[in-house]
Amino acid sequence: MTEGPGPSIGNQHATTDFSMKSLTFRNQDVMPALGLGTWKSAPGEVGAAVREAIRIGYRHIDCAAIYGNEAEIGAALRAVFDEGEVRREDLWITSKLWNNAHKRQDVEPALRQTLADLQLEYLDLYLIHWPIALKPDADFPESGEDFLSWDEAPLTDTWAAMEACVSKGLARHVGVSNFSRSNLDRLSEGASITPEVNQIELHPLLQQNDFVAECRENGIHITAYSPLGSRDRPQRLVRDDDPVLLENPVIGRIAEKHGAPPAQVLIAWAIGRGTAVIPKSVNPKRLRENFAALQLGLDPSDLDAIAGLDKHFRFVDGAVWTMEGSPYSLTDLWDD
Ligand code: A2P
């Protein structure tokens, strides 16, 4: 994977500053390690949550077109800027390209729609949401007919269009989400910008240590999604015997030892290993609680205990993309 032109590329390396709790990009732009997740934040709630989060001190907001709430987030951001609480340049805003806009000609219009909804002139980071392509009229697949294969919508084409968005100043940085090692390789053939971030599911039950280390060696920052175990995930993703991460007894014991809530232990663990992390909440008390995790330091014995929890368990397993008739398999998605 090679570095290429564009405002995000210099001869500096991507670095992670553990003490400052931020991740620095190759051009020295800085992403705060702790961000607000907005997946599942309902319209009617998300705007107030974003405003409250910014009041508390969050400066990184993670969005996506498919969450269906970007217009309300945009109105909240507009109000925050108009009232002078923060300036645009004080915030790090990420969004994601949905699966039904992977065709080369559909990428920029999708980004422009997100920018219009968010009432922004540029994104700090734009990600390909999944390495899976759908036909333009399908938000989610109802049958195998709704998919486009990698032959029909090559990831390299989608990536070339993402790179063009950087050249046009619509996104400062570009990356991916839910990409395995093989899919990063597939996308990077002929790329001029190395993906700068891979946003993946990560928590103590799914630690992916080797993959995280490998991405870092290749200059790819990692953002951890579903860090609290995503208890409010859609019903289609819930199985009866799924673990409840926030009630894990090992996490509970560590939390008790520090006099901290379990969510703070999970967030502090993610930040301590050098990833960004985007816990979702729409509740003011929990937003505050999660932000205070920046002050929590875990002991080596805590980290040892958490290391023992890894089960390679996914809350978001991608099975929806592998329905009968789909050109994609779970191996295509996760390599395993
Ligand atoms: P709520 O939005 O009502 O606070 P994830 O970030 O892994 O997707 O998890 C989000 C889920 O965790 C939501 O149900 C959210 O509910 C809940 N949550 C967020 N912060 C906390 C917290 N500090 N303690 C308990 N639950 C939390």
- Give pLDDT tens digits for 26-85: 999 999 999 999 999 999 999 999 999 999 999 999 999 999 999 999 999 999 999 999
Does residue 290's CB lie within 6 angstroms of at least one atom of ligand 1? Answer: yes
Residue nearest to atom 13 of ligand 1 (CA): 232
| Homologous superfamily of domain range 8-324 | NADP-dependent oxidoreductase domain (3.20.20.100)
Does residue 264's CB lie within 6 angstroms of at least one atom of ligand 1? Answer: no
Does residue 35's CB lie within 6 angstroms of at least one atom of ligand 1? Answer: no
Q: 99-117: per-residue pLDDT in tens?
A: 999 999 999 999 999 999 9
193 CA to middle of ligand 1, Å?
34
At residue 8, the pLDDT reads 31
243 CA to middle of ligand 1, Å?
15
Three-class secondary structure of residue 124 per DSSP: strand
For 24, 95, 220, the CA distances from 274, given in Å and listed in that order, are 11, 21, 12
Domain chopping of the chain, boundaries: 8-324
Number of neighbours of residue 44 by Cβ within 10 angstroms: 10
Pairing of strands 36-37, 22-24: unpaired
281 CA to middle of ligand 1, Å?
5
- Residue 6 CA to residue 3 CA, distance in Å, equals 10
Residue 21 backbone phi and psi in degrees, to 5: 55, 50
Which of 66-87 are b and which e, b meaning 16 or more Cβ less than 10 Å from the residue's Cβ?
Answer: bbebbbbbbbbbeebbeeeeee
Joined tokens for residue 48: 């107030």
- Residue 109 CA to residue 100 CA, distance in Å, equals 12
- Residue 122 annotated among the catalytic residues of the structure: no
Confidence of residue 13 (pLDDT cuts 50, 70, 90): low
Pairing of strands 22-24, 15-17: antiparallel
- Residue 314 CA to residue 334 CA, distance in Å, equals 11
Average pLDDT, the chain: 94
Q: Where are the beta strands (DSSP E) in 230-334?
A: 276-277
Q: 223-254: per-residue pLDDT in tens?
A: 999 999 999 999 989 998 999 999 999 999 99
Residues forming beta bridges with residue 280, ordered by sequence position: 37
